[in-house]
Structures are given as C-alpha cells and as structure tokens.
Structure 1
C-alpha cells in the first residue's frame, strides 16, 4: 500500500468545509440547470472577487473549462498559440483541436512560460488563406512546470496580444496557488491584467469536482452557455458544483488551502536540497516540486510512494502537494529519500 501521494493534487480528498456545503445543498428540491439560488450565490461570490462585469459558467472539469472558453474565442480555421507543455496541448487528449477543430501553434518553453517573442514567431502568415490564423493565446497560471507569471509578465503578454488582434485565455487550474505565491488578489492577475477568458480551478484546491469558465470580455460571453451545453458540460444538478465554489470563495478558504499546499511544497524542496545528489530543475513557486536524482533512488522510492517521473532521460520527477498534505507526510517522504 502506498503512502500519501505526491503524484497530483487531484489525488487529494474533499476539504471538510466543501463536503459540508455539498451536504447542505442536498436538502430539498431546487430548479435544475443553474436556475437555483446556490448557483446565483456562487456567481455573486465570483463577482466579489473578479468584478461585476464577469460572466460565470460552471462546468465539470478542467478540460471542459478550457475547451468551452477557447471555443468562444476561435473558429475552426483559426489557431491558439501556447507553450509545448501547455495542458491543452499535452494532457487533454487533443480536446481543443478535436472539439473546436482549430490548430494549436506551440512554442518551446523550458520553464512553462510563454513570452511575447514566442507569440510573435507565429504571426508571420496573417492573411494567408493556406495557414491557420492565430486568434487566441493561452497561458497557464501556475504553469505546468510549477512556475508563476508575475503580474507584469501577464500584462506584457496581454498588451502584445491585444495589439495584434488576439484574445487571451488563462488556464487557471491552480490560480489560487499563484495568488498565494504572489500575495495578490485573483482579479489583479486576471481581469485587471487584461485576460479575456479564464478557466478557474476548484478540483485541485479542495473541491470534489467542478471548474468555472469566467469571461471578462463581453464580446465573447453570449455564446458560452450554448457552447457549454453542446460540449456536454451543463450539469442538471448544478447546485452541487455551485455550492462548492460558494464555500470555497467565502472568506479565505481558497487562499488558505492554496497557501498551505505551497508551504508544504517549499518544505519538501528544502528537505530535498539537503541531499547533495538531488537538485531542483525549476524554482518552487507553487505546490509543485521538480527535482532530479539518481535513477536507482527514484525506482526505490516508487515502490512506496506515488509521484510522476516527469522526464525519464533527465531523471526528473514531479512532486505535488495538496491542501491536506501534512508536515508528517513530507517528513516521511524525506526520510525514505535518505533511506
């Protein structure tokens, strides 16, 4: 039997407060498909954090959130620019290309971040009918490499994209972890920084399931409800997704969960760095630790622990902490590393 998993924050349980919110929402009958007071209350919470101008659509999962938001931004003859390691490119089974019918134009990135120069390299065939036409840029906050864009970096990208007629999408599966790292509000690195469309994550931060599509661009908002339905992401008993977000965004539960996960990742990284055979391959800026160690030690650890071997050639592993990771879990893993 494996010990506490470091493979993904998807492996964690449900935060007790979220579980309680689900139970409370289970009382009686309410209108279906989001016409209920739980959904209305949750949307109001989003408006408190992101501003009155945002439109919110709840979906089942992260892929659904990304595809729903992106489909409102691009048509099938158009393209989305992203890094080669972006979740929409490497971990969603080709959903964006398969469901939207568009093309992904990728940019190599060692740290998971996209830059304006990376975007610019795909802007040399505008108007050429034989080439997919770039229409959107997608960035991840936090990135798939655990790194975090600064607010200035996001603003630079959004300004460049908008100046070139491109929409900006943000995959915010771990947006709360980024806010905890930067010490900023959710709005400061999204709507205030020029983001048009956001996929806001809940599952990785204590929810049972559920993500939210948050649209800041009114030109794009009107089509989302139809895209969500056609994409099989409209929940009939939506109150159970909405109630979770209502509780998550009440007070600072979202921030407490993310901040704790980040601190456990830093504790884990500090312990690994005490070993001369181990080095970090990325700075620790969220709840993910990327490290390299001798292959033999990786194989021994995998007998008792669950984590990802990120790059076999470089002997690079990824360790992810969660809201329910404890100091004892970290110490237990570090003890086995030394053993």
Structure 2
C-alpha cells in the first residue's frame, strides 16, 4: 500500500468527544442524505408481512464435528444455503471461549473509557489504518460516520506489532492475542466447509488466500450515543472488501442492519454468537455463487455500543480470480484477476460505498 495517502485530509475529530460534549444536533458532516438515513425494521424468527422470514440464518456449528454423518451433512448444507441466499449467518456453539469473548470486548470498552490524551497516543494514519481512528476513507470532504474504532493487524505475523496494541488496559494485548488465535482457527474451519460446499477441494480457498501467509486483522468499533440517530449511521452501507468477517456484536443493543432486497433488516444478535458475513473476495473466487451483502450500522440515543469485527483476508499480493473449477461455457468468469492490495485501495480512498466496487469490476458478458 505504498501509494496510499500518508495523512488525513482534514483534522480528525473523535466522535466520542462530540457525544460527551452534550451537543443536541450533530455536525453537518455526519448527516446522511435522506435516502441513506436509517429505517428500523426489527428482525425476528416470525414471519413478516407477506410471509417472508426476516432473520438471518442461525447455524449450530458444532454439528460439523458430530459423530453423526447425517448431522454433519445437514450442518454443512445449512451453511451453504446461508452463504448462497443471505451471505450472512449467526454461528453458535462455534468453539471460541465465551468467557474469552466477553473479557476481550470488555477490555476494549475500558480502552474507549480512557482519557482522550491516552487514546491519542495510538492515533492512526491512512497508511495502514493501524491504531485509534475515527474515519475510514481519506477523500476530502466526504460524509463521516458516527463512530470511532481501533484497528490492528494479526496476520501475517510479520505485520503483527503488539507495541501498537493498547496498554493500558494491561490485559488488552494478552486477550487480543488469544482471542485472535481462536477466531483464526474457527475461520480456517469455515473456509474448508465453504470449499467443500462449492465443490472444490477442501483447502482450495485457504490456498487461494495465501495459505499460512494469509491476512487477518481486527477492528474494534465504538458507537457513541447520538442525539439524532435518525439522521446518521455508525457505519455506512458497504460490503466487506476482504474474504470473511466474524463479528462479535453487543447483544444488548441492536445495531447491524443487513440489506435484503429493497429492505434493511435489523439483526437481533444471539448471546455468544458470531455473525459471519462473506466478503467480496469470496464472491469473486466463487464466481458469485456466494455473494457479499450490503450492511450498515445504526446508532442509538440512549446507549453506546462496542463490537469486535475480525477480518479474514487474502494476502495482499495474491491474485484473486474465479476458481477455474467453477467456470463453464454456460457460466464464464464474471471477474478479472486482481490482487487484494489493488482491490482494497478503492475503499481506503472512498470509504464505505455499498457494493459499487465489486459490481464495477465485473467482466463484460
């Protein structure tokens, strides 16, 4: 990413500081145009108008490791259907320690409660985004989201620098290390199931991502209270540019919205579950059999939220293209080859922007 902008185009304002100041109206830079403003449509297992079920699928991942072959096949089929029809599912009984998940989220809540001067020591830049931040895109004058975050690298190991991870809180680095280790293990298991479900060899997607050199990183999102939540978003509509995201949300305050057709559905997170969503690189590799899906985050006037988004991505210099095994005369390749570094530069410049990027690179048919 040597050609990335080196500094932010305008002074960075911490959204948490704005929220704590007691303002009654949000600055104009955070006001979304009317068509992008949030609409609250709660998700539930019950049928919505017209009979459509409005909840992302829930998969008991432990079924993959059952001694019952029928249960293993059933669980794999549930994951496959969720990937093809939704691009999202909630994974329960996934094997990551629930206590570890809780303690990791709480230590990050402690970080955001630190005095501003202590957090500023970890202020980030557009070069790598690593550290304490308050905006994603670097385009001057762009609309801003109502959130702060902390971004850190975990894989490949050469990019991991724990000195850039917060301390205090004193337990943060240790918890992040163990949490990331367990989540990476879960991601690897899911990638194998994705490969098999697509009719590819078990390790195909892992190898396409770069094998042991693949990428993994985490963004801890902090969404402060907002006096006008109907005018802004915590995170604007986007599909994730990478491979797969495992989100550990705040189950006490709903915020994630998933696009389903023309509607935005608000996901009700289950306790101790990961919300799994597919990124653009899996859409490309699967030749759109699996699709990334637009999602966004709404904010709340009464409560702040902390969520942990773990991104499992290809190595930056890996050429990503549709798997040859999925290409036929009837289903030609939909996307040209490109590296992940080339691909993600767009969102680093523009910030969240729906699905415009992955749609724009489609090959003419």
**Structure richer in helix, relative to its length:** 1
Same fold (TM over 0.5): no
- Specify which structure has the bigger relative contact order, considering alpha-carbon pairs within 8 angstroms and separated by 6 or more residues: 1
TM-score normalised by structure 2 residue count: 0.27
TM-score normalised by structure 1 residue count: 0.29
